[in-house]
Amino acid sequence: QVTILNQTPTYFYQLLRKVLADHPYDLRIRNVIFGGEALSPLLLKGFKTKYPETKLINMYGITETTVHVTYKEITWVEMEAAKSNIGKPIPTLKVYVLDENRRPVPIGVAGEMYVAGEGLARGYLNRPDLTAEKFVDSPFAEGEKLYRSGDLAAWLPDGNIEYLGRIDHQVKIRGYRIELDEIETQLLKIAAVQEAKVLDRDDANGQKQLVAYYVAETRLAAHELKEELAKQLPGYMIPSHLVQLSLMPLTPNGKIDRKALPAPEEAAAGGAEYIAPRTLLEMKIARVWQDTLGVPQVGVKDNFFELGGNSLSLMRLVQAVYDETGIEIPLNRQFHHVTVEAMAFGEGDLGLDKGGDSFIKLNKAGDLNVFCFPPGSGFGIGYRELASRLDGRFVLYGIDFIDDAADYETMLNRYVDEIVRIQPKGPYVLLGYCFGGNLTFEVAKTMEKRGYSVTDVLMVDSWIKDTLTPSETSEKELEEMVADYDEEEKELMSNPLVRERVHQKVKATLAYEAQLINSGTISARIYELIAKDSEAFRLEHQLPSWRGAVTQAYADYRLEGAHEELLELARVDETAVVIRDILEQVKRQIEAEAGVLHGS
C-alpha cells in the first residue's frame, strides 16, 4: 500500500480523474506532496472530499537551493481562496520578495523571489557568467548570497507566500501586461474544467495572442467559455483561442510539455464540422479569413472569434474583405457571431443592412433597457466595458452618431424611432457620457414631444451646453482626440478605410456639438454623475449643472478619477458600481409607479 506520494501537480490531476471515478481500490495515502510546478488548489476539492484524512502538501523548490524551499499544507481554506499558496520557508532557508532594485515589497505586491540560507549552491560548474547573474550579494547580511529564482511571488497577510508564476511567463499584448496564471485560475473556476494552461503564441501576422488549453469532463464550446471568462476578466485577457484536449501532454518529469501543445490552427482544423464555401463570394471571403487568421481552412459557418480573431484582426478583416469584394462592414458592431456565410449574405446575425445607425446590444441580459448615446468620438462602442459589468442586471444599447440625416431634427427623430423599434412602450431610461449627455437631453425632449415617457436620464460627467463652440475649438478637440489614441487605436487608424470613416464620424459629431445649445426642460428625473477631478474645471469655467433642466427630481453623485478615465479600464469598475446602484433605484421606482398605475 502506497502511503506517501510525491508528484507534480499535472500528473496528479490526471491520476485524480481515475481516483475519483468508480474503482475497486481504497487508497491509504497519508500524504501527497506536490512540487515541480505551480499547484491549482481548486482542482483538489474532489480528492479532499473523498479522502479528507490525507494531507495535501505544497512544496516550492529549486535545484539551486537543494530542492525544497517552502512548505504549506493545503486545506479547504486554500482551496476556496484559489491561490497557489506555497507557505513559509523551511527552517534552514530564508525567502525575500524584492522589487527590481532589490528592495522588499509590501504585503500583496508582486516581486521576484530570492532565496538565502544553508541549502544554497555555490554556483554553476564552469559558468562564472551565469553564477554572477543568479547568485548575488545580499543587501541584508554581509557575506551572504541570494539566489534569484526568476519566480514572481507576493506576501499574504498571514505571512505565507503566494506563487504567481515565472517572470518570463509574463506577457504584454496590445500594450497590456497580462498574468497568465490569473486567466488559468478563472478557467478552473468553471465547473466542468479540470485542467487549464494559457500560453502566448504568435499568430500568422506575428502578433502575440493568448491561447488557452483545457481538459474538461464534457465537450465545451469555446464561445461559452469566453462568455464565462468575460464576467470576470477584461476583454484583453480573454484568450483568442480555446483548445480542448483529452489529456495535457507531459514531459518525462511529469510537467506540462509546452512544446507538445498543438498550434491553435491545427486544433481548429480538426474541430467543428467543416462546411465548404458554396459560392464564388463565399470562396473569396473564406480565403481572406485564412490569410488574416493564418488558418489552413475556413468553413462558412465557422465563428471568427473561435478561430482566434480579436478586435484588431477584425479591423484587418474589414479592410481585406472590402478590398477583395467591395463589401463594407459597419465598424461599430459588437460582433458575437461573425461567419463567412453572414458576410456573404450581408444579413443574419451581423445585421449589415442597419449599419451604425442602429442601437446595438452591448451585453446579453438584464431587467431594464438603458439606451446610451455616443460621446464626442461619435461611436457608441465606448460603452462596452461598462455594459460587460452590468450584464445580467441591465441591458445596455449603444449607437453611433447619425451623420447622414438631412437635418438635425430628422436625426433626433431617427434616434427616437430606433429606441421605439427596440422597446415599443415606455418608460424609457437614457444615458450619455460627456457630449453624449447633451445629445441624450435633446433626444429626451424629442421623445416627450412625441408623447413617449422618459422617466430617467443619467448624465455621466456631462454639462449643459449654453454657448456656441468656435470652429477652432472643434479642430483642437479633433487633434486632441487623435493624440489620445492608444497603441491599438493608432494601429487601426493606419488603415485608410478605418481612418476615413472615423474622421468623418468625429467631424460630424463635433459639427453638431458646435452649434448645439441645450435649452428648455424635461420631465424625466436626471442623475448627474460628476468626476471628482472635473470639479475644479467646472468651477473655474462656471459650467452649469443639469439641475435647472428638470421639472422633477434631480440628484448628483461623485465618481472617482478623471473625466477621460471613467469608462476606461482604469476606472470603469468604480463607475459601474455607482451606475448600477442608480439603475437599481430607477428600476424600483418604475416598478412602484407601475404598481400605483395598475392599482396593485
283-313 b/e (C-beta count within 10 Å ≥ 16 → b) = ebbbebbbbbbbbeebbbebbbbbbbbbbbb
209: Cβ–Cβ under 8 A, 6 or more apart, which residues?
173, 200, 201, 202, 203, 239, 240, 241, 308, 310
Q: 260: exposed, middle or buried (C-beta count within 10 Å: 0-12, 13-18, 19+)?
A: exposed
74 and 41 share one domain = yes
Going by C-alpha positions, the residue among 38, 32, 35, 49 that lies closest to residue 196 is 38
341 and 362 share one domain = no
442 and 590 share one domain = yes
DSSP-assigned beta bridge partners for residue 137: 145
Domain harbouring 250, CATH code: 3.30.300.30
The verdict on residue 236 lying in a domain is yes
252 and 286 share one domain = no
Which DSSP string do the residues of 397-423 spell out, in sequence order? EE-------SSHHHHHHHHHHHHHHH-
Q: 510: exposed, middle or buried (C-beta count within 10 Å: 0-12, 13-18, 19+)?
A: buried
31 and 68 share one domain = yes
In the predicted structure, residue 252 carries a pLDDT above the cut 60: yes
CB atoms within 10 A of CB 529: 22
259: Cβ–Cβ under 8 A, 6 or more apart, which residues?
none
The verdict on residue 550 lying in a domain is yes
Boundary (domain end) residue, out of 301, 331, 350: 350
Domain harbouring 563, CATH code: 3.40.50.1820
Q: 490: exposed, middle or buried (C-beta count within 10 Å: 0-12, 13-18, 19+)?
A: exposed
| Predicted confidence band of residue 350 (pLDDT cuts 50, 70, 90) | very low
Which DSSP string do the residues of 249-293 spell out, in sequence order? -B-TTSSB-GGGSPPHHHHHHTSSPP----SHHHHHHHHHHHHHH
CB contact at 8 A, 183 and 198: yes
- Position 448 scores a pLDDT of 95
Boundary (domain end) residue, out of 208, 226, 258: 258
In the predicted structure, residue 175 carries a pLDDT above the cut 60: no
Helix axes 280-293, 311-325, angle to 10 degrees: 140
Identity (one letter) of the amino acid at 140? F
User: What is the Cα–Cα distance from 307 to 442, expressed in whole angstroms?
Assistant: 43
152 and 290 share one domain = no
In three-state form (DSSP H/G/I as H, E/B as E, the rest C), the secondary structure along 112-146 is EEEEEECCCCCCCCCCHHHHHHHEEECCCCCCCEE
| Predicted confidence band of residue 312 (pLDDT cuts 50, 70, 90) | low
Please tell me whether residue 519 adopts helix, strand or coil conformation: coil
The verdict on residue 476 lying in a domain is no
User: What is the Cα–Cα distance from 524 to 57, expressed in whole angstroms?
Assistant: 61
In the predicted structure, residue 183 carries a pLDDT above the cut 70: yes
Highest mean pLDDT among 136-140, 209-213, 244-248, 466-470: 136-140
CB contact at 8 A, 116 and 195: no
The verdict on residue 486 lying in a domain is no
DSSP letter assigned to residue 300: T
User: What is the Cα–Cα distance from 433 to 419, expressed in whole angstroms?
Assistant: 18
Residue 309 vs residue 354, higher pLDDT: 309
Q: 163: exposed, middle or buried (C-beta count within 10 Å: 0-12, 13-18, 19+)?
A: buried
The verdict on residue 207 lying in a domain is yes
Domain harbouring 320, CATH code: 1.10.1200.10
The verdict on residue 273 lying in a domain is no
CB contact at 8 A, 385 and 360: no
Highest mean pLDDT among 205-214, 291-300, 363-372, 478-487: 363-372
Supply the mean pLDDT for the chain.
82
The verdict on residue 340 lying in a domain is yes
Domain count, the chain: 4
User: What is the Cα–Cα distance from 377 to 490, expressed in whole angstroms?
Assistant: 14
| Predicted confidence band of residue 456 (pLDDT cuts 50, 70, 90) | very high
| Predicted confidence band of residue 349 (pLDDT cuts 50, 70, 90) | very low
DSSP letter assigned to residue 103: -
The verdict on residue 155 lying in a domain is yes
448 and 578 share one domain = yes
141 and 67 share one domain = yes
387 and 534 share one domain = yes
593 and 449 share one domain = yes
Residue 300 vs residue 472, higher pLDDT: 300
Per-residue model confidence as pLDDT tens digits over 568-593:
887 888 999 999 999 999 999 998 88
306 and 390 share one domain = no
Going by C-alpha positions, the residue among 514, 525, 485 that lies closest to residue 502 is 485
Highest mean pLDDT among 237-241, 266-270, 279-283, 521-525: 521-525
CB atoms within 10 A of CB 580: 15
Report the pLDDT averaged over residues 453-471: 89
Per-residue model confidence as pLDDT tens digits over 487-498:
545 555 565 666
- Output the CA torsion sign for 50, 56, 62, 66: negative
Percent of the chain with pLDDT over 70: 84
Report the pLDDT averaged over residues 371-375: 93
Residue 89 vs residue 471, higher pLDDT: 89
Boundary (domain end) residue, out of 101, 130, 160: 160
| Predicted confidence band of residue 95 (pLDDT cuts 50, 70, 90) | very high
Largest CA distance in the chain: 90
Question: What residue numbers bound the domain in which 402 lies?
Answer: 355-467+517-597
| Predicted confidence band of residue 145 (pLDDT cuts 50, 70, 90) | very high
Per-residue model confidence as pLDDT tens digits over 538-573:
777 778 889 989 988 999 999 988 888 898 887 888
587 and 570 share one domain = yes
**Model-level pTM greater than 0.85?**
no
CB contact at 8 A, 310 and 318: no
Q: 520: exposed, middle or buried (C-beta count within 10 Å: 0-12, 13-18, 19+)?
A: exposed
